[in-house]
Structure 1
Amino acid sequence: MQPSVTRWKTTTAARLRTTALSLLAVVAAVGVGAGPAVAADGNVAWTVRTASNGYGEARSSYSYNVNPGGAVEDAMVVANRGPAPLTLSVYAADGFTTDAGQLDLLTRDTKSIAVGAWVKPNAGSVVIQPGKTAQVPFKVSVPENATPGDYVGGILTTLTQADQAEGINVDRRLGIRIKLRVGGELRPNLAIENLHVTYAGPTNPFSKGDATITYQVHNVGNAALSGKQAVTVSGPFGLLRVRAEDVAAPPELLPGESWNVTVPVHGVAPAISLAATATVTPLLTDASGSTTPLKPVQVTAHGWALPWTLVLALVVLIAVLVGAYLYRRRNRAQRKAREDARVRDAVEQALRGPEPQTS
């Protein structure tokens, strides 16, 4: 199998170095054609692969189980496919999951605190002649106080070249993933956080609309986890239930990482009150590659699904009825006031008696 290799590119303009990386390619471990991964640009080309040793041959990546205080030694093989001698820097870095759901590695000028700090190449650079290969040994030393659980990073080779046309320096990086499980109690766990449901109904109050459910999947355990997701929306008492179709699985999340999820659900009746339920089944992958489903995590949130056209019609009707009632009440009050005034005038006239006649 081909190594799980990632190619990165970093640029430097003048003296300002960018720290953002653009993930250019990830070579999968299964179903990929033979041959090592290549980083090529102009007259520069090199490959990297795992060394064949007691850990195995043609490994897709590096994977270790090490207890706190323990250490392992391994090596990476680098080959120069270009026509000129090649000097590459070698270093390790912590990994993280990007917003696109891909594994990326920290830049060299960003401090690593786990795999990137624990993996030490025997040399910070390697010189390879054209058509030749070089083996780069490295050692993984896990501190005594390391927290049990999963860590991901990588070991990288990098080449800095000047781009005269653009006036910048370009760093090209080619590396292999390192997955490290530190011995101790494994507590795999995912949580669903910040679950919300919103509703957008049609103009016709008797037609169905769309609900949008948003939430975060948070890895609150100490093991790397992926998962299967399901989302349902229902009205009061579980009636009018609708299930979302093809909810995409989150990427494998490292401990502490979160993944934002937005799920549209179509054909939802405006049932006044909606209950949105998100279910995530964590998937734990062991060293052999087999996946085990864990106990599902389920959270429910409520929201309004009002048929706004009907509500507006009811509001207008109520306003008309209230207006009519107030108008009639005012008219009655005015008629009563006029009648009271007429009676009062008549009484006063009677009390005064007839006016005296003048001759």
Structure 2
Amino acid sequence: MTLTSRLVRPLLAALLAAGAVAALTLWTAPVAHATDNGSWAVTPTPPAASSTAPRSYFVIDADPGAKLKDSVRIQNLTNKPITFTIYGADGFNTAQDGFFALKGADEPQIDVGSWIRLPVSRIKLAGRTQADVPFTLTVPTNATPGDHVGALVAMNNAIEGTDDSRGVDIGIQRAVGARLYLRVSGPTTPGLAVSDVHLETDRGAMPWTGSGTGMVTYTVENTGNVRLSPTATVTVSGAGHAVDTVEGDALVDLLPGQQVSLSSEVEGIRWFDRLTTEVVVTSPEGATAKDSDTTWLTPWSGIGLGLLLLIGAGFLVHRRRTVMRRRMRAAEQAPVITVPTPQ
């Protein structure tokens, strides 16, 4: 991957995260909203019939071996010409927090992105103009049943900025994509798995130190073949008492086979306790999973300090008693002096 395009993937993740929310809303209320960044927009080409509701993204059901034709519209919203690279991209979830993202143009496409064929890979649009680019989607005969998610992407060929935060000048390119949701016919099985549950606390060495908060980290994996929108409930309980329960935000479009790391903050953690952390993940598609972990909060430094104080106190008591005994023994062994009484 070149320095110029190293930031394409994170930029796609950020630019398309907002589109995930819009997609969920538009699924039940199909109103036309372009996927754009203010400079250009990428959407499915509207249908010819004016009575048909316009599409915001591609939703396709197909059998293995099917060949489908469609068209994507690219609009230049600026007053200046822009040259775009257009390509089909695979979708994925970012490893941290599970945001929806797309592979870059120079990365290998191994799923639905590789099944898309375009007549051109570059197109130049004058300011305030648009173009409809046809494409063919060929589903392999051995395609697995279930959901395959990607997008038709238009990336500005121009370097729009630089980033030297890591000590190296990196060119920044922006891209916009119209999502493509393909479901290949066959058995569908929603599935989830939870693993690597871990509680990290900031309790200090003494009861009056630390804030009593903690961070629960865990891994969620889509083990089925359909995209899911799971929600996690994190419960922390102590030895005979409840500590905290937190419900996380729903993941939008956790894709089949994807694994993401999530975290939730909890409160009410005591200085010394045996904590059980349980994470239960459910999705409206019918999948559920859970995992748990046990953490002993044993402040050894505080306990050690307490033991030292006890030993020190014991030593002082012992020393005082020893001195007192010596004084009493000395008093007992002192000679008796008889003072005669006057006659």
Confirm or deny a common fold (TM above 0.5): yes
Q: What aligned pairs does 1:96-107 form with structure 2 within 5 A after superposition?
A: 96-98=92-94, 99=96, 101-107=98-104
Q: What aligned pairs does 1:172-211 form with structure 2 within 5 A after superposition?
A: 172-201=174-203, 203-204=206-207, 209-211=212-214
Q: Cα–Cα, structure 1 residues 268 and 57, in superposed 2: closer, same or farther, change >3 Å? A: same
Q: Cα–Cα, structure 1 residues 53 and 316, in superposed 2: closer, same or farther, change >3 Å? A: same
Q: What aligned pairs does 1:164-175 form with structure 2 within 5 A after superposition?
A: 171-175=173-177
Shift of 1:249: 3.3
User: 2 CA distance for matches of 1:206 and 1:17?
Assistant: 48
User: 1 CA distance for matches of 2:300 and 2:189?
Assistant: 47
Give the TM-score taking structure 2 as reference length: 0.71
SS of the residue 1:204 aligns to: coil
Shift of 1:67: 1.8
When Rg is computed on C-alpha atoms for both structures, the one with the higher figure is 1
User: 1 CA distance for matches of 2:55 and 2:255?
Assistant: 22
Q: Which digits, 9 at most, give the CA deviation of each residue in 1:281-309, with x for residues without a partner? A: 1233xxxxxxxxx2532212111022557
Give the aligned residue type for 1:125: R
Q: Which digits, 9 at most, give the CA deviation of each residue in 1:223-255, with x for residues without a partner? A: 21121111112234xx21122334333343212
CA contact (8 A) 1:67 1:142 kept: yes
Shift of 1:119: 1.2
User: 2 CA distance for matches of 1:80 and 1:211?
Assistant: 48
Quick one: which of 44, 48, 60 aligns to 1:50? 44
CA contact (8 A) 1:205 1:309 kept: no
Matched, 1:259 2:255: no
Q: Cα–Cα, structure 1 residues 119 and 305, in superposed 2: closer, same or farther, change >3 Å? A: same
Shift of 1:92: 0.8
Give the aligned residue type for 2:63: N
User: 2 CA distance for matches of 1:87 and 1:120?
Assistant: 19
Give the aligned residue type for 1:227: P
Q: Which structure 2 residue ranges, 5 or more long, are not aligned? A: 164-168, 317-343
State the match for 1:300 in structure 2. Answer: 292
Q: Cα–Cα, structure 1 residues 133 and 206, in superposed 2: closer, same or farther, change >3 Å? A: closer
Quick one: which of 89, 96, 112 aligns to 2:109? 112
Shift of 1:80: 4.1
Q: What aligned pairs does 1:204-219 form with structure 2 within 5 A after superposition?
A: 204=207, 209-219=212-222
SS of the residue 1:283 aligns to: coil
Quick one: which of 144, 150, 154 aligns to 2:147? 150
CA contact (8 A) 1:189 1:221 kept: yes
Matched, 1:125 2:131: no
Shift of 1:141: 0.9
Q: Cα–Cα, structure 1 residues 76 and 308, in superposed 2: closer, same or farther, change >3 Å? A: same
SS of the residue 1:158 aligns to: strand
Q: What aligned pairs does 1:26-65 form with structure 2 within 5 A after superposition?
A: 26-27=18-19, 28-29=22-23, 30=25, 36-38=34-36, 45-53=39-47, 57-65=53-61
Q: Which digits, 9 at most, give the CA deviation of each residue in 1:43-77, with x for residues without a partner? A: xx543322233895321211112221122221112
Give the aligned residue type for 1:70: A
Shift of 1:110: 0.9
User: 2 CA distance for matches of 1:315 and 1:168?
Assistant: 57
Q: Which structure 1 residue ranges, 5 or more long, are not aligned? A: 1-9, 285-293, 325-359
State the match for 1:331 in structure 2. Answer: none
Q: Which digits, 9 at most, give the CA deviation of each residue in 1:152-206, with x for residues without a partner? A: 1111223323679999876443321111122222121111111123444352289
Quick one: which of 73, 86, 91 aligns to 1:90? 86
Shift of 1:266: 1.3
Q: Which digits, 9 at most, give the CA deviation of each residue in 1:248-267, with x for residues without a partner? A: 33343212222212223211
SS of the residue 2:64 aligns to: coil
Q: Cα–Cα, structure 1 residues 300 and 73, in superposed 2: closer, same or farther, change >3 Å? A: same
State the match for 1:276 in structure 2. Answer: 277
Higher strand content, 1 or 2: 1
Q: Cα–Cα, structure 1 residues 278 and 140, in superposed 2: closer, same or farther, change >3 Å? A: same
Matched, 1:137 2:129: no
Quick one: which of 214, 220, 225 aligns to 1:222? 225
User: 2 CA distance for matches of 1:121 and 1:321?
Assistant: 83
Shift of 1:222: 1.7
Q: What aligned pairs does 1:322-333 form with structure 2 within 5 A after superposition?
A: none
Give the TM-score taking structure 1 as reference length: 0.69
Q: Cα–Cα, structure 1 residues 186 and 252, in superposed 2: closer, same or farther, change >3 Å? A: same
Q: How large is the Cα RMSD of the aligned pairs?
A: 3.9
Give the aligned residue type for 1:244: T
CA contact (8 A) 1:199 1:304 kept: no
Matched, 1:159 2:159: no
User: 2 CA distance for matches of 1:205 and 1:38?
Assistant: 52
CA contact (8 A) 1:188 1:223 kept: yes
Give the aligned residue type for 1:57: A
State the match for 1:5 in structure 2. Answer: none
Shift of 1:123: 3.0
User: 1 CA distance for matches of 2:162 and 2:301?
Assistant: 61
Matched, 1:312 2:304: yes
Tell me how many residue pairs correspond in the alignment: 297
Quick one: which of 63, 67, 79 aligns to 1:71? 67
Shift of 1:33: 10
Greater relative CO, 1 or 2 (CA 8 Å, sep 6+): 2
